[in-house]
Amino acid sequence: MKSIWYNDIELPKFPALVGNIKTKVLIVGGGIAGLLTAYFLKQKGVEYALVERSTICSGTTSRTTAKLTAQHGLIYSKMIRSMGIEKAQMYLAANRKALDKYTELCKKTDCDYEIKNNFVYSTDDRACLEREMAALDKMGFKASLHDDLPLPIKTVGGVCFPDQAQFHPLKFLAFISKGLNIYENTFVRHIDSNKAFTDTGSITAELIVVTTHFPFVNKHGLFFLKLYQHRSYVLALKDAEDVGGMYVDESKTGLSFRNHNGLLLLGGGAHRTGKQGGNYDELRLFAFDKYPDSMEVCSWAAQDCMSLDNMPYIGRYSKSTPRILTASGFNKWGMSGAMLSAMLLCDSICGVKNEFSSLFDPSRSILKPQLAVNGAETVKNLLIPFGKRCPHMGCALKWNKAEHTWDCACHGSRFSSDGAVLDNPSNKNLKA
């Protein structure tokens, strides 16, 4: 089902590419990261073209809960322990710059932009909240710890980032995309050096930027080891309470809350793609119990790329591909991650040194505990001797009863019941 963001907006339409073209910069992927990159390049007077396999914003971008915040879970205490305070401060500063850019751009259009406090809460671990507060204090950021939260569940408190924001992503992107050089229904199947091949032509470019959610070129970058995908679910509830801010559980499988236009957006039911999870059933049981007078008016699911160290990969695709750039691994914080990516990618393309580029370099160390988990999951699913196989790397697919799709637990590709590819990194349909 489509999300509520489609209810009151019509996005611009663009033609398909037929034939062969040349451009300075080719952007592959018409989600928010690709569109913002194109927007900034146009402002700089850089020649570019953007191609999207379907229509713009039809993927993960349209399924967001659209929170604009630099508070990405309880990450700063973990970052200080693993990377040191300087890099933790850089991460915070980079994301705050991304939010400042949203504030600037949202003033130019009506996109339901609202200043809200953001909270990360815990249901059972007060100590993790106190550790995060101590880390933020050490970093010089003024957060606050709240004991009483207006949620229908018992919590032990929540860490609050003041003056964050929420918005309507498709209203914003309808404004951003007007007048951009975009080709829709143009599926890039293969990239070779400085050339991208579609079903109906090719694009030759000096630089190629891959913003396709999950980078799909396997022979470079090791993204099939660096990333896995996580699904989560959202219900839009009418006649449920207004919680006054934005809330998310510190647990990956917890619940999130925010309001929009009289509706409560209840998120949760999360699980690794291809695995079992609470999905819509968990949310509907919760709504029935805690909001018995509410009515579900919409439901949808999102899929997020998760990196090894909870930071995005932004920059050169690999050390051996100086002409290919990418942005991925936003770890469920795609709105801030997309803006940050577009700013960094534009600077890189224009030859501007950015103080944050080294922090998000895709070629940084992959020696993290999650690497072993990703590797084991891939091996396990490759060795299953039966069933449908994913065209991406041959992993066994699992049937998703909640959404009636074939899902890959290795890298997150998904397919409809009749085999059409729904989510990458696969760029092929299932064989009949």
Class of the domain covering 114-165+227-306: alpha beta
List the chain domain ranges: 4-64+171-222+309-349, 114-165+227-306, 369-422
Question: What value does the mean pLDDT take over residues 145-164?
Answer: 97
Spell out the CATH class of 369-422: mainly beta
- Location of structure tokens 């032990």: 156
pLDDT at residue 171 in the model: 98
* Structure-block tokens of residue 144: 């606050």
pLDDT single digits (tens) 170-206 = 999 999 999 999 999 999 999 998 999 999 999 999 9
Does the structural domain 4-64+171-222+309-349 have CATH classification 3.50.50.60?
A: yes
Report pLDDT for 395.
94
93-136 per-position pLDDT tens digit: 999 999 999 999 999 999 999 999 999 999 999 999 999 999 99
Q: How far is CA 306 from CA 165, 213, 228, 310, in A?
A: 23, 11, 5, 7
Q: What region does 83 belong to: left with phi over 0, alpha with psi -120 to 50, or beta?
A: alpha
State the number of CA atoms in the 13 A half-sphere of 354 facing the CB.
24
Q: Give 84: exposed, middle or buried? Use CB within 10 Å, 0-12, 13-18, 19+.
A: exposed
d(CA 353, CA 344): 9
Q: Give pLDDT tens digits for 353-408.
A: 999 999 999 999 999 999 999 999 999 999 998 889 999 999 999 999 889 999 99
d(Cα 250, Cα 237) in Å, to the nearest integer?
23
Q: How far apart are CA 141 and CA 86, in angstroms?
A: 13
Predicted confidence band of residue 41 (pLDDT cuts 50, 70, 90):
very high
